[in-house]
Structure 1
Amino acid sequence: MREIPCWWVELPETKYQKALDLQLAVVESKNSGRLEADVILCLEHPRVFTLGRRGGRENLCVSDDFLSEKKVAVMPTDRGGNITYHGPGQLVVYPIIDIKRRRIKVVDFVSGLEQAMIRTAAHWDIPAGTDPANRGVWLGGNKLGSIGITVRRGVSFHGLALNVNTDMEPFDWINPCGLDRVRMTSFERHMGGPVPMEEACGEMARHLSVVFGISLTTLPAEQLYGKIAFKM
């Protein structure tokens, strides 16, 4: 079978809604047949709580007034999972991949995303692992990375969030992923100092390529916008 192209696209810090609009535009272009290539977006978000298909407002432990004062938005989404936090210093990756065409089962796709996070952490000798009871990546009893995806007509979107240099305080305002008494951690907290985000992004790209056997081609964001007629 002819190899399906896959573009690796790095974005600047991007508001959650804009990134979601871009994902949906890529998904629609793929499902309509106008775009063959798969696309993996790598970015950071401004501070925001997102809700999953299972809800999550019940796991928000602070008031709307408090969030307004802290300038943290709350966004409903159609991804899997419950409430989570995104913010600067967190590596967010959205793989928009035709997993049906690539013959990847959803459960294997999620496991592959976990492995990519684990291998990225291992680059800094951080011993991350999985928890059979809960999806995502863990460091001891603390959660290091989260996963929530959606699949539309065989094409995945949404993805993973890995805490690299993330401010941990907003996680104290929720029950992360709907799990009571779960604490979050980050590369920075474990190592006692920040990790270069550019290096973390590069490691993530390398490990996603290996885990899924996909060759990645770096594509400037502006070229992606042009190919799908998207206005950022």
Structure 2
Amino acid sequence: MAYGEAWDLQKRLVGEIDRQERGDSLLLVEHPPTYTIGTDRHPEHLLYGPDELARRGIQVFQIDRGGDITYHGPGQLVGYPLLYLDAAGLDLHAYLRTLEEGIIGLLAEFGIEGGRKPEYTGVWVGDEKIAAIGVKFNRARTRRGFVTSHGFALNVKRGVEAEGFQGIIPCGIAEYGVTSLESLTGSNFGIEEIGERIVPHFARVFGYDSVVNSEENRETLAR
């Protein structure tokens, strides 16, 4: 799904969740080559000029999530949790840690020890980042709380590290590299396979009892 289309879809669904016309949702997509620049706004961390971006077919979006610049593209599973969070006892940092925990649980399925770096958001394997996280908390209009948007980008396919990340300083972090699930395991995976496997971990860490995951739902979202 094109990035702009997914962003518009998020905004529409955030409104529906706010108005209680829809339940909490998790969008799982794969994007064409895209750089997104969050609210930290460090344009110097984009290393390619307009000509090189055009040659490589990479679009650039300045968006409303937190954080700096990152890459989305083929070989990466991107997840957008759209969840209502009640304002009572709300801990925004705990939400980020819970997102990380779901990805760490998925990695453990493959014998990979994912972890955190205290100074950075995201999921790491040693000194290499495998999943970036950047979110927005949209203040609800009809009730007392927030609806989340944006989310995580998990590197799955081997080669995604060099394909897009070489054109940026990812999240403004120059001293560490990035890695992928295939590079760490030596196995090959489909993006949809990993998408299906992450859903139970997401449901577990956020405390959902049941999940609706169907082709019909996918077609409804795509329209």
TM-score (normalizing by structure 1): 0.86
Which of these residues, 146, 156, 161, is aligned with residue 148 of structure 2? 156
**Unaligned 5+ runs, structure 2:** 140-145
Structure 2 residue 72 is matched with structure 1 residue 78:
no
Q: Tell me the percent identity.
A: 35
What's the counterpart of residue 222 of structure 1? 219
Cα distance 1:87–1:224, how it changes in 2: closer, same or farther (>3 A)? closer
Q: In the alignment, is the contact (CA less than 8 A) between 1:145 and 1:163 conserved in 2?
A: yes
How many residues get paired? 212
**Unaligned 5+ runs, structure 1:** 1-13, 226-231
* Letter in structure 2 aligned against 1:177: C
Q: Distance in 1 between matches of 2:95 and 2:79?
A: 14
Q: Which runs of 4+ in 1 moved over 3 A?
A: 101-104
Q: Distance in 2 between matches of 1:222 and 1:63?
A: 37
What's the counterpart of residue 142 of structure 2? none
1:71-104, CA deviations, whole angstroms, 9 ceiling, x for partnerless residues? 1111110001100000111111100000127965
Q: Distance in 1 between matches of 2:199 and 2:12?
A: 22
Query: How far apart are 1:197 and its partner, in Å?
Result: 2.3
Query: How far apart are 1:173 and its partner, in Å?
Result: 1.3
What is the RMSD of the two structures over their aligned residues, measured on CA atoms?
A: 1.7
What's the counterpart of residue 4 of structure 1? none
Q: Distance in 2 between matches of 1:38 and 1:151?
A: 14
Q: In the alignment, is the contact (CA less than 8 A) between 1:42 and 1:94 conserved in 2?
A: yes
Query: How far apart are 1:112 and its partner, in Å?
Result: 0.7
**What is the correspondence of 1:110-189 to structure 2 with a 5 Å cutoff?**
110-153=96-139, 154-165=146-157, 167-169=160-162, 170-189=164-183
1:217 aligned counterpart, secondary structure: coil
1:126 aligned counterpart, secondary structure: coil
What's the counterpart of residue 192 of structure 1? 186
**What is the correspondence of 1:37-116 to structure 2 with a 5 Å cutoff?**
37-100=23-86, 105-116=91-102
* Letter in structure 1 aligned against 2:219: E
TM-score (normalizing by structure 2): 0.89
What's the counterpart of residue 17 of structure 1? 4
